[in-house]
Structure 1
Amino acid sequence: MPIYEYRCPRCDVFDVVRAMGAAQGVDTCPTCGGPAVRRFTAPHLARTGTAAFRLLDATSRSAAEPQVVSGPLPTADPRKAPLSSSNPLHRKLPRP
């Protein structure tokens, strides 16, 4: 659930945990009971070093910044490829 920040003119800043989109523009201060105006602040982002987050970061980074290939790609030698399959089920397939 998101944390919303409110500022009371008489007291101080306080946080309220509410469902997404359920925050009001004005809320009551828990200390004095007066009206407190909602503040728009930067979201609280967690900086974790777990393997799952590193994998997600690498995946999103590779979409915009793919790794550069430093040499030619390996090519398949057509002379080494078998001309026919040894699987007996392939014999039933139609020929071109």
Structure 2
Amino acid sequence: MPSYSFRCSAGCRFDARFAMSEVPAETVCRVCGAEARRTITAPHLSRAGTAAFGLLDRSARSAHEPEVVDRLPARAPGRAQRTTTNPLHAKLPRP
């Protein structure tokens, strides 16, 4: 459930969790008991710890510290090299 911020006329601020379909525009203040209105806040968009965050971190790191290779990676044994039948691929430079 998302968390929503509320503020009453006395200046009290608090967060409350509601389902998106049931969030009220006003609720009772948990501190002083007055009517509190929902306020606009920045969304929480952190994806720290996910695969997407790791990918972003690795790509940023490679911009400053690129990995240097001196040869092509070895092919797995028993796997044949892929061949193409497209005649346009024959015009491409070979490594």
TM-score, normalised to structure 1, is 0.51
**Identity across aligned pairs (percent)?**
43
String of CA shifts for 1:28-84, please: whole Å, max 9, x gaps.
001111001111222111231422x34898xxxxxxxxxxxxxxxx74278xxxxxx
Task: Tell me what 1:76 maps to.
Answer: 85
- Tell me, yes or no, if the aligned pair for 1:11 and 1:32 is still in contact at 8 Å: no
* Larger Cα-atom Rg: 1
Structure 1 ranges of 4+ moved more than 6 A: none
Task: Write the distance in 2 (CA, Å) between the matches of 1:56 and 1:40.
Answer: 31
- How many residues align? The count is 61
- Tell me, yes or no, if the aligned pair for 1:11 and 1:31 is still in contact at 8 Å: no
TM-score, normalised to structure 2, is 0.51
CA RMSD of aligned residues (A): 2.9
Unaligned ranges ≥5, structure 1? 58-73, 79-96
Unaligned ranges ≥5, structure 2? 57-82, 88-95
